[in-house]
Homo-oligomer: A and B are copies of this chain.
Amino acid sequence: MSTLNLTLLTDLYEMTMMQGYFKSANHDVAVFDAFYRKNPCDGGYAICAGLDQVIDYIKNLHFSAEDISYLRGLHIFDEDFLSYLENFRFSGDIYAIPEGTLIFPREPLIKVIAPIMEAQLVETAILNIINHQSLIATKAARVCYAAGSDGVMEFGLRRAQGPDSGTYGARAAVIGGCKGTSNVLAGQLFDVPVLGTHAHSWIMSFPDEYTAFKTYANLYPSACILLVDTYDTLKSGVPHAIRVFREMREAGIPLTYYGVRIDSGDLAYLSKQIRKMLDDAGFPDAVISASNDLDEYLIESLKLQGAEITSWGVGTNLITAKDNPAFGGVYKMAAIQKEDGNFVPKIKISENSEKITNPGNKTIYRIYDKATGKIRADLICLADETFDEACDMNLFDPNEPWKKTRIAGGTYTLRELLVPVFENGKCVYDSPKVMDIQAACTKEKDTIWDETKRFVNPSRIYVDLSDKLYRLKHDLLNDMSES
């Protein structure tokens, strides 16, 4: 998708509002925050991904002659506005949390500061890209957490919601911790490892299972994982695989990476039986790999049952985040910058107090405990606030302000999460390679305790508001209720 012009990948209302601002000669600079409200799968965290595709999108943003002609044909847009679109480019600033970073609800993942027409247009595509990839990166991190030190392979392309759901989804899955993907296009586009062996159809295309295995082993002796469940796993598949491994050994072919894959049946029972058969036959280092509608819960359960599986192929449930297939990120106006340069904070109120937005031009500091390196809390504050690591810090939960904590000066370090990505329309950020993002993400995972990573009732990381931001928000709410 990266070579396509995605400028029209937007909701029609972004364009009708744009024309409205154009006709009203509204050139105010607006601040918009993209954030989410709830961790996927009731987890304790999420992982940010998709920024590199957002950068591509913003860089390529322009209305081609065909786009203008299409818009003209809708009979909604006037010629003066269409002329304006001809020379449209994104001219604003974008700040973002780097990919692979742990994120928590209500934090601006992306902040856009741009003339309101531009800031409005980009809403839909930014949300689409960030929502999708952050969802899959998060799901992958959960699956990899369940698998512990075992490798997890992303195998979901055929069940993904369209071509680039499978392809960008594979990218996000690798960021979240998968060792590779079956998707060759993702391998080509993102330089990530591609993995896979053969399907049942390979076995069925030969007169018998042994010949199919033998042919495969001759072709790919150095990565020889044989699928053993086409006919009968324990009576046919595994004995034939052992026969082939034995013949390889007798022929002096080194057995470097070899073993079996099971794709059906009771994986706990079968894997234990297979382990015994392989061990008894003198192949204790043969890998047992499994697939078949796996997810983090099933892998955790199989491990508890003592399943002898050390390599996991995860498809549908990962690539669609099946139990929670939408990330729910939103994009809300936070401030308008007037001609004097001052930001006028804006707030969206709601009957549901958790849906009330945080006003103002903001940033986020992550507070790490110096002794352990773990996250103590995140702090959302106004962009011009500064903090001194030598001073004590008072934190409180914005929804329950009586819950307070004091962090002693000198015991914590601060990291600003939002980094500049575009300045005056110019990209000022180099995206790391995907495998480097994966490595950074692995380190990120070490900044939270297992209590936050567990699947049931995870311990929450607090995201607090600075005193100044909290007061600003409450003053605005009071003004509204009085008006």
Interface residues of A (CB under 8 A from B): 1, 3-4, 6, 8-17, 19-21, 23-24, 26, 28, 30, 32, 66-67, 70-71, 74, 76, 116, 120, 123-125, 127-129, 131-133, 135-136, 155, 157-169, 182-185, 187-188, 194-202, 204-205, 215-216, 219-220, 230-231, 264-265, 316, 320-322, 325-329, 331-333, 336, 346, 348-352, 355, 480
Contacts and interface: CB of A to CB of B under 8 A. Distances in A.
A183 B11 contact: yes
A157 B185 contact: no
Contact of A197 (B1, B16, B123): B16
A225 to B, nearest CB: 10
Contacts of A127: 158-159
A120 B201 CA distance: 8
A132 B319 CA distance: 12
A463 B194 CA distance: 39
Oligomer: number of copies? 2
B168 A32 contact: no
A203 to B, nearest CB: 9
Contacts of A74: 187, 194
B184 A11 contact: yes
B16 A196 contact: yes
Given A10-B184, A17-B202, A328 B159 contact: yes
Contact of A200 (B23, B188, B348): B348
15 contacts: A1-B163, A9-B166, A14-B199, A17-B198, A20-B202, A20-B216, A70-B187, A70-B188, A123-B158, A128-B158, A136-B161, A161-B162, A162-B162, A200-B348, A320-B320
B159 A162 contact: no
A188 B67 contact: yes
A163 B125 contact: yes
The listed residue with most B CB atoms (<10 A of its CB), out of A132, A169, A325, is A325
Contacts of A28: 205
9 residue pairs, one from A and one from B, having the closest CB atoms: A13-B196, A12-B196, A127-B158, A325-B325, A11-B182, A161-B165, A8-B185, A161-B161, A8-B184
A6 B348 contact: no
A201 to B, nearest CB: 4
A58 to B, nearest CB: 14
